[in-house]
Every structure is written in C-alpha cells, then in structure tokens.
A and B are shown apart, each in its own frame.
Chain A
Amino acid sequence: MRPRKMGTWALFGALVLAGSLGLAACGGDDSGDSDTNGGDNGAAAAKGGIYRVGTTDFGFNGGFDPSGEYLGWAWDLYSNLLTRQLTGYRHTEGAAGVELVPDVAESIPEPTDNGTTWTFTLKKGVMFGPPVNREVTSKDYVTAFERIGTESVVAQYGFYYSDIVGMKEFKEGTSKTISGITTPDDHTIVFKTTKPIGDFGYRLAMPATGPMPAEVTDCFTKAGEYGRYVISSGPYMIKGSDKLDATSCKTMKPISGFNPTKQLSMVRNPNYDAATDSTEQREALPDGFEFIINTNQKDIFDKIEAGEYEDSVDAVPPDVARRYSTDDALKDRLKSFTDDSTNYIYMNLGEAPFDDVNVRKAVNFVMDKDALRRAWGGPLYGEIGTHIAPPTLYPGSTEFDGYDPYASENNAGDLAKAQEAMKASAYDTDKDGSCDAGSCSGVLFLNRSIDPFVKMSPVIRESLAKIGIKVQVRELPTGPAYETSGNVSNRIQIGANARWGKDYPDASTFMVLFDGRNILATGNSNYALTGMTAAQAKEFKVPYPKGGVPTVDADIDTCAAAIGDERAACWVALDKKLMEEVVPWVPYMFGKNTDLLGPAVTKWDFDQFSGEAAYAHVAVDPSKQK
C-alpha cells in the first residue's frame, strides 16, 4: 500500500521553513529517539468525545472504495473503524501488531489439500450498519471478491487473489461465479487456490476482502463509486449512513458525512455488537471521529498544540518534532514508530557502471546514510537501513541483529572499503579505487523535487563523487518521478525517489520488487531491473549487459510456497543474498511514522499493520478539547 505522505505541501514547505518564524531547517542532530510505547497519555481513558484529525489531503487513490483503495491510511480507517475482514490484527505496535488474528472468522484455520483449501467459520451476530441493518453472511464476502474480479471496479491489488480457483474465468466473463469460493451456509466460506499460498491468511485481512452488501454495492460498478456509500460492519459508520435511502440505486445519494475534498465524519454504528469483537482489537472509545482537510500543514500542528485537533495524518515537521522531543513536558505527546517501510537508492543492473556488482558494492560502502537520515529529520524519522525488508517483517528472527554488510563508522560511509570494492570493478581501469571509465561520468540520477528528497541529492552526489561516479541530477515532482523511473526506456541509472511499504506483514511484499517477471515497460516498480532477461531488454529497447543480469526469481518462488518457520528463514536468506550478491539497492533508512498528539488525548496506540495511528485504541478527554 502507499505509505503516508511525508513532507507534503511541497510547494510551500521549504519556504515556510526558511521563512520568518524562526523555524530551524531540517536535518538537525537529533540524538535521541523519542519512541515511547503507545498506551495512555496521562489521564484515564474513557468513552466519549470526538477524536479530530487534520490532514492536508486525504490522498485516496481509489475514491475510498475498499475494493480499489490502496492508501495505507485508508486501510487504517477501514480496519480500525469501518469494516471487518475475516482475519485482522490487534491494531497495536510492534510484533503483537502484525500477528494475524481472527476478526469475523471464529479462528484462523490450517489449510488443507496441500495448502490449497481454506475453510472459515464466521461469527454470528456481526451486523451491517444502517441502512442495511442485517447480519453479515458468508455471501457478503463473496460479493467482495466478485467486485475484486470486476474490471471496471479497478481493484488495485486484485493480483493478490488471482490464484483463487475460478477468479480468472470470472474476470474474463466466462463464469458468473468464482468457482473457488463456496458458501455451504451463511456462516461458512471455503476458498480453493490453484497453488499453496503461505500468506493467504494475511491477504484475507486486506480491506478489499471485507464484507459488502450486494444490495448496495451492485449499484456501484465503476472505480471509486462505492467510496461515498461504504456500509459499515465495524464499530463506526460514516455520519449520515442512516439517512441513505437504499431502496433503489436511483434513490441513493452520497452519504453526507464524507466529502472527499473536505471532511470525513464517523459516528458509532448502532448495530455494532462489541461481543462479536475483542477489546484487544477494537476498544472503540470515542463517540466519533472527524477527519478534516486543512491545506495549511503548519496550521494543523498549531491546532494540535492548541487542543483544536487531536492528531494529524501528515508527518510531524522536523522543527516541531525537535521542539517536542527536547521538552520534558511535551515529549510524551510525540510518538515515533517504525512503519515498515524502506527508503532506498536503486541502481539499474542493466546500465553501466551499475551492471558491475563491485560498483554497486562500492556505492553501498561509500554512501553517507547518516547524512541521508538527517535530511529526513534525524532518528525520529527512521532507523539506518541495512537490508531490504524492515525487521518487523521477520518477527522473532535474530538474523538481522547487528547485520550490516556495508557497515561504517557512524554510518557515514567507508571510503577505504568502497575503493577496495571499486578496484575489483572493470570500470576502474587504473585500479586506484575510483571509477574512471567513460560511463562513470554523466550518470543519470533521478530524485524527487520535494523536501526532504531534495536535501538528499547533494549527499548522494558527493558520496558518489568520492569513488569517481559523477552524476547528472534530475529532480521531478513525486508523481512524474515515479512515472519516469517506472518507464524502463528512460534508462534511469540510479535513483532515490523511491520508498516502499509493506502490504501485509510478510517479506514477500518487498521481494516482488526483484521479480524479473514483473518488469513492465511502463508502471514498473522493479527499478533496478533485477532479473531482466535479454528478451525483455530487447522488448523494452534497452541494452542488455554482456555479463547478464542476476535473477532471484527461483528464490522468490521457493519462499512464496513455503509456510511457517521455513518461509521466514527463506525470506531472510533471500534478503541477505540480495544485499551481498545481487546488490540492487542501497537501503538507507527504515522509515518511521511520527505523530503529535493534542492535550486532550488520553490513550493512543500505533497500528503496526497500517503504519498509522491505531484509531481502534485512542481515547479523548472532551473537557480538554477546544
């Protein structure tokens, strides 16, 4: 899923920081990490009040229709507040927050038939909110999968379900049902897959699979349309849902509590029965939520400070974070948690000089990762990255404790080791540790033109110059930068515009980035072109190096089919192989999510699944609100 916005309000952010209000620029020397556990924020948590959250932009990319929406924060809203999937999470921080637990399912079953059949029993008494007002049945989950299989709905992560038996035929229109999903009764649903899928349970926790009442969703078959009509199965509903006239498609008007460019208001779902849920997953303490668009990011944090908002979706600006983290009276209100994203520099394995693994190793050795992290705002914004998938995706594993194949003092880069690596490269003709072939100059380096990415460009340029690589910097806004790097024919040699977050807590959601079979001419996300074949290079009209391009496709297949401990060990081994043998990236930082809480917040937690605030476990004291 798309991680939250970092440093939005790009046009003005730098100006504001440089402006007259005396705010320091980013990149300070935060030495302490203000990580504090979630839990209470002082006063006793109680029910009641409205929890208000500011954001510069909702950023929904699928119209808030659960079938197509692919934004991390939207998933946070669905799974904490609005919809209940068969499986789910505890909505808390750390390892406990990424352990799969049953939600509407009575339990998480062991797959049968060699891992290809999953049979779930649904809890009784789970109800849809108004105006549907009936029990959620197994058929409502089938409806969700039928929407995923409906092309016009544009389910952005529908590929996770393409291995369900019959999904292909349903999608192509040769079958009216998905044969691999059956409902023997209202409380039983059976999934058959074409091959064992070790992480299928995680995939069923994704919001697109939540229950959907066909009597409403059948009216909305175009991308994003259902987003204004989402029917609740969770503790809250969109304000005004009870006024929705669902007697026919023509009588339905968008639910009043959601205006995609202004506000999303939620109130309690009167049909929600807490007995069908657990407080471990959802406490549902506030009486409602207000998510408010405020285009002035500075104003959002001023309002939090003044008690007019409780929280923000936007990352806390570094100057604000620094002020709170260094003030004993305020630092409890600043939260910072790893959000399971990796910020990385990618190198194009098909382009000189990065088609030589020794050059790629040299780049890893020389990169000043600490300076890159300072560009983001310091330790509050991330841990130094030393491998591909963040550590949370390897729960219980100690394999990455202290792991850093390119370690350097203070993470500032090790020029001597970089030069040693470069000497082994064909691009260092005189073996002095500096890249000196013609292709070492004018190297096309792509980055984003917004803060904090622009602050990284000089760091990267100078680090690379130390080993003789002279880059030509090209900075573009976020969208065009992604489009440019995703177009193979652009032949971007090295780039820092990318960051990646998990879809669910399994390393597979990172390893897809190295699957050569996924390389597309446009819209490609395997920017390093790991695993590209000569035939693909010909198709994309790009050069193919004489030595070939390393592939890990077989490793990915092996790991994807594994389950349990074997699966975890397999991904760990692949992560290390990528870091030490293939070396497509310089992973410089495991991202963190920072949150600033208002004075009225009495309980708060972080949702490790979504990488956002765990709204299921927040509480507010109305007497302290303004």
Chain B
Amino acid sequence: MGRYIVRRLLWTVLVVVLVTLLTFVIFFVLPKGDPATRFAGKSPTPELIQEVKESLGLDKSVPEQYGLFLKRLVTGDEYGWPGLGKSFQNKQPVRPELIQRAQVTITLIIGGALLWLAIGIPVGVISALRRGSVLDRVSMGTALFFVSAPVFWLGLLSLYVFWKQLGWLPGTGYVSFGASPGTWFSHMLLPWMVLALLFAAIYARVVRGNMIDVMTEDYIRTARAKGLSERRVVMKHELRTGITPVITLLAIDLGVLVGGTIVTETVFNLQGLGNWLLIAAQNNDLPVTLAVTVLVAAAVSILSLVADILYAVLDPRVRYQ
C-alpha cells in the first residue's frame, strides 16, 4: 500500500507538470497574437510593447518561461512558496490571493458537499427501497428537475425569493468566519443550498441505481436467507456496497469543484477560485490561470488517491499493489 501511495503521488506531480505544460501551450499557441499587446494600452508603440514583455517576462522564449515557472513553483519566489508570480492584469502577487480565494471556495465546497451527501444518500436509499412507489417517483422527479435546472437560474431565483422578496437571508457577498460566524453562515447558506441541490440530485440517482443493483446480488439473498434482520441487511450489506462508488464520485467532484464553482461564485459574488479563473482566462492572465490550474490538478489527483484508499478500506475485495 505504501509503495502504491508513493507511486500515485509521483504520478500526481507528473499530472501537474503536464497540465501546466498544456496550459502554457494553449496560452501561447491558440491565440494568434502577442499577449504583451493586451497589456500595452490601446495604441502601443514598439518600445512600450517591449517594456511590457520585459515587465511580464514575456521577452524570454516559451521554453525558458516554462522552465522559470517550474523553477519558481518548486523553489518559491519573492512572495513565498510555491512561487506563482504576479498577475498580468492587476500586477499583484498571485500566491496570497490564491490562499485567500481558496478559503472561500473550500468553504463553499465543503458546506455544499455535506448538504448534498446529507440529502442525496438518504433520498437515494429510500427511493431504492421503495422502488416504484409514489415517494420514489416524486424523489426521482425532483432529482431530475434539479439536475436539469441551471445553477445560475437556481441561484438567481433563490436570491429573488429569499433576499429580495422575503428578506430572510442577506444577499450576495462573503463575510469571513472570523469577522462574524453568524453573518458568515447566513451568507453561505444560499450558495451551499444551490450547489448542493444539483449534486444531491445526481447523488440520489447514483445511490438509488447502485442500491437496486446490489439488492439483486446473491449475497444479499443469502444474508436474508440466513435470517438477518432487514435493517441489518440494508445497513451492513446493501448500503455499504451501494454507496462505495459515491466515494470516487465525491473525490472527483470535490477536486473539480476547486476551480469549477464558477457559476455559484459569480451569482453569489463569492470571490473564490472559479470566478478568478474565469476572469483570468478572459484576460489572458497566465500566472493566475496557471496557479488555479495547478491547484485543481493537484486537488483532483490527491483526492482521487484518497478515494482509492478509502475504496480499499470499505470494500475488502479491493487491494492495491
């Protein structure tokens, strides 16, 4: 197991390097033009373009720039470790901003994940157990609705109802936990709910499907034949096996959401990583794009590893060499 983990961690490093390389290639190859011109005013002179290139480090060859990026990433730069440089757009160091925004995004993801697991798993289990019932149909119909509903629409609708019309919750924005735990919670409640509703719906359907598959397995029939109580059959055998794939799903979802909560963050004015990545991509802000990309790649890889390990713990049939 130890060797497996080390091998997977090395693989994570390789993934991060490949992803950053791909991002570099996309940045320099796809837009036909000189990125420096975007930061040189509306009527630049050749001298000014050169000044911008030097200022942004774009005067070096692409391989040199990539090498320098990797070197700074590993050894750090004047703003700390890992070295992520300065934003092309606002000229500010990327690292402190990344840390600040990551806190917002992680808060959103964790809160949302707890909610969607708390809703999705029970709904999926109950639907599977009451397959074909009115409850099952209503649950799955509702799930289908939330899977289909665009997040931005749900977000705007929830703001309209709970902030504008009812005035029960504050509107958009983020307040740190340290500043006021109560205000932090009230500001995060709607984003958590909106994010959770989509994923809860997906998880409910996944859990239901898995449970139904498991319920037809021979060993379940055997368990019942041995005289185990229905509660024990469901909780110990069906549920354990039925939700195991959810762990993989959860790990990948959490990793992807590190940079993927763009819509939720934008609608609720949570200045997290997703929203930052969107703005950076629109502005060709390479250092910010790379920083978020590295974080997402690392998060997906590491969380996948965690999922695989948990998988082995939960399912005795799985063993890693």
Contact residues in A for B284 (Cβ distance below 8 Å)? 479-480
- B172 contacts A63, CB within 8 Å? no
Task: Check: B236 CB closer than 8 A to any chain A CB.
Answer: no
With A19-B152, A523-B40 as contacts: A60 and B49 at CB distance below 8 Å: no
Q: B10-18, B112-120, B156-164, B313-321: which one contacts chain A?
A: B156-164
**CB of A303 to closest CB in B, whole Å:** 7
- B51 contacts A522, CB within 8 Å? no
- A299 contacts B91, CB within 8 Å? no
Cα distance A156–B283 in the bound complex, in angstroms: 17
With A151-B51, A262-B271, A303-B171 as contacts: A523 and B44 at CB distance below 8 Å: yes
- A261 contacts B90, CB within 8 Å? yes
Instruction: Jot down 19 A-B pairs with beta carbons below 8 A, ordered by A.
Output: A2-B42, A11-B278, A12-B263, A60-B90, A61-B39, A151-B51, A151-B54, A154-B39, A156-B44, A159-B43, A260-B90, A260-B92, A294-B269, A295-B269, A299-B172, A477-B282, A478-B282, A479-B284, A483-B32
- A299 contacts B159, CB within 8 Å? yes
Task: Check: B9 CB closer than 8 A to any chain A CB.
Answer: no
- B90 contacts A484, CB within 8 Å? no
9 smallest CB-CB distances across A and B, nearest first, come from A224-B91, A483-B33, A523-B37, A63-B91, A156-B41, A522-B34, A260-B90, A223-B55, A523-B44
Pick the residue among B45, B89, B91, B172 that contacts A159 (CB under 8 A).
B45
Cα distance A75–B21 in the bound complex, in angstroms: 38
Q: Which chain B residue lies CB-closest to A62? A: B91
Task: Check: B19 CB closer than 8 A to any chain A CB.
Answer: no
- B278 contacts A154, CB within 8 Å? no
Q: Tell me the B residues contacting A by CB distance below 8 Å.
A: 31-46, 48-49, 51-52, 54-55, 89-92, 97, 101, 150, 152-153, 156-157, 159-160, 164, 171-173, 262-263, 265-271, 275-276, 278-279, 282-284
**CB of A266 to closest CB in B, whole Å:** 18
Q: Which chain B residue lies CB-closest to A224? A: B91
Task: Check: A195 CB closer than 8 A to any chain B CB.
Answer: no
Cα distance A523–B41 in the bound complex, in angstroms: 9
Contact residues in A for B157 (Cβ distance below 8 Å)? 20-21
Contact residues in B for A477 (Cβ distance below 8 Å)? 282
**CB of A178 to closest CB in B, whole Å:** 17
Cα distance A525–B49 in the bound complex, in angstroms: 13
- A484 contacts B33, CB within 8 Å? yes
Cα distance A477–B45 in the bound complex, in angstroms: 24
With A11-B278, A525-B42 as contacts: A154 and B55 at CB distance below 8 Å: yes
Within 8 A of B (CB), among A141-173: 151-152, 154, 156-159
Pick the residue among A15, A152, A303, A484 that contacts B152 (CB under 8 A).
A15
- B38 contacts A479, CB within 8 Å? yes
**19 more A-B residue pairs beyond the given contacts A58-B90, A262-B271, A299-B171, with a C-beta to C-beta distance below 8 A:** A10-B282, A11-B278, A15-B152, A65-B91, A70-B41, A156-B44, A159-B43, A260-B90, A260-B92, A261-B97, A295-B269, A479-B31, A483-B33, A484-B32, A487-B32, A512-B43, A520-B45, A523-B44, A523-B49
Contact residues in B for A487 (Cβ distance below 8 Å)? 32-34
- B44 contacts A295, CB within 8 Å? no
Cα distance A222–B86 in the bound complex, in angstroms: 11
- Chain A interface size, under 10 / 10 to 19 / 20 to 34 / 35 or more: 35 or more
Task: Check: A283 CB closer than 8 A to any chain B CB.
Answer: no
- 1/0 per residue, CB under 8 A from B, across A473-516: the answer is 00001111011101100100000000010000000000011000
Within 8 A of B (CB), among A57-100: 57-58, 60-65, 70
Contact residues in B for A299 (Cβ distance below 8 Å)? 159, 171-172, 267, 269
Pick the residue among B34, B38, B156, B173 that contacts A16 (CB under 8 A).
B156
- A525 contacts B269, CB within 8 Å? no
Task: Check: A408 CB closer than 8 A to any chain B CB.
Answer: no
Pick the residue among B43, B164, B276 that contacts A306 (CB under 8 A).
B164
With A223-B55, A479-B283, A484-B33 as contacts: A520 and B269 at CB distance below 8 Å: no
Contact residues in A for B33 (Cβ distance below 8 Å)? 480, 483-484, 486-487, 490, 522
Contact residues in A for B37 (Cβ distance below 8 Å)? 482-483, 486, 522-523
Contact residues in A for B282 (Cβ distance below 8 Å)? 10, 477-479
With A151-B51, A483-B31, A483-B37 as contacts: A295 and B153 at CB distance below 8 Å: no
Cα distance A486–B49 in the bound complex, in angstroms: 13
- A21 contacts B156, CB within 8 Å? yes
**CB of A308 to closest CB in B, whole Å:** 8
With A260-B92, A483-B31, A487-B33 as contacts: A154 and B52 at CB distance below 8 Å: yes
Q: Which chain B residue lies CB-closest to A525? A: B43
Within 8 A of B (CB), among A4-26: 9-12, 15-16, 19-21
Q: Which chain B residue lies CB-closest to A297? A: B266
With A12-B263, A262-B271, A295-B271 as contacts: A480 and B31 at CB distance below 8 Å: yes
Pick the residue among A158, A482, A525 that contacts B38 (CB under 8 A).
A482
Cα distance A486–B31 in the bound complex, in angstroms: 12
Contact residues in B for A483 (Cβ distance below 8 Å)? 31-35, 37-38
Cα distance A287–B92 in the bound complex, in angstroms: 29
**CB of A193 to closest CB in B, whole Å:** 18
With A62-B91, A159-B48 as contacts: A19 and B34 at CB distance below 8 Å: no
Task: Check: A298 CB closer than 8 A to any chain B CB.
Answer: yes
Task: Check: A225 CB closer than 8 A to any chain B CB.
Answer: yes
Q: Which chain B residue lies CB-closest to A500? A: B42
- B44 contacts A520, CB within 8 Å? yes
Task: Check: A293 CB closer than 8 A to any chain B CB.
Answer: yes
With A156-B40, A299-B171 as contacts: A12 and B152 at CB distance below 8 Å: yes
Contact residues in A for B279 (Cβ distance below 8 Å)? 57
- 1/0 per residue, CB under 8 A from B, across A286-323: the answer is 00000001111011001100101000000000000000
- A296 contacts B267, CB within 8 Å? yes
- B38 contacts A15, CB within 8 Å? no
Q: Which chain A residue lies CB-closest to B285? A: A479
Q: Which chain A residue lies CB-closest to B262? A: A11
Contact residues in B for A151 (Cβ distance below 8 Å)? 51, 54
- B90 contacts A9, CB within 8 Å? no
**CB of B266 to closest CB in A, whole Å:** 5
Task: Check: A38 CB closer than 8 A to any chain B CB.
Answer: no
Within 8 A of B (CB), among A253-300: 260-262, 293-296, 298-299
Cα distance A486–B164 in the bound complex, in angstroms: 45
- A16 contacts B152, CB within 8 Å? yes
**CB of B32 to closest CB in A, whole Å:** 6
- A12 contacts B38, CB within 8 Å? no
- 1/0 per residue, CB under 8 A from B, across A232-246: the answer is 000000000000000
Task: Check: A441 CB closer than 8 A to any chain B CB.
Answer: no
**CB of B277 to closest CB in A, whole Å:** 12
Contact residues in A for B150 (Cβ distance below 8 Å)? 15, 19
Contact residues in A for B38 (Cβ distance below 8 Å)? 479, 482-483
With A224-B90, A522-B37 as contacts: A302 and B271 at CB distance below 8 Å: no
**CB of B101 to closest CB in A, whole Å:** 8
Q: Which chain B residue lies CB-closest to A485? A: B33
**CB of A208 to closest CB in B, whole Å:** 11
Pick the residue among B44, B54, B269 that contacts A296 (CB under 8 A).
B269
Contact residues in A for B172 (Cβ distance below 8 Å)? 294, 296, 299
Task: Check: A413 CB closer than 8 A to any chain B CB.
Answer: no
Q: Which chain A residue lies CB-closest to B55? A: A223
Contact residues in A for B164 (Cβ distance below 8 Å)? 302, 306
- B271 contacts A9, CB within 8 Å? no
Cα distance A62–B40 in the bound complex, in angstroms: 9
Cα distance A80–B29 in the bound complex, in angstroms: 42
Cα distance A483–B282 in the bound complex, in angstroms: 13
Task: Check: A130 CB closer than 8 A to any chain B CB.
Answer: no
Cα distance A302–B276 in the bound complex, in angstroms: 23
Contact residues in A for B43 (Cβ distance below 8 Å)? 159, 512-513, 518, 525
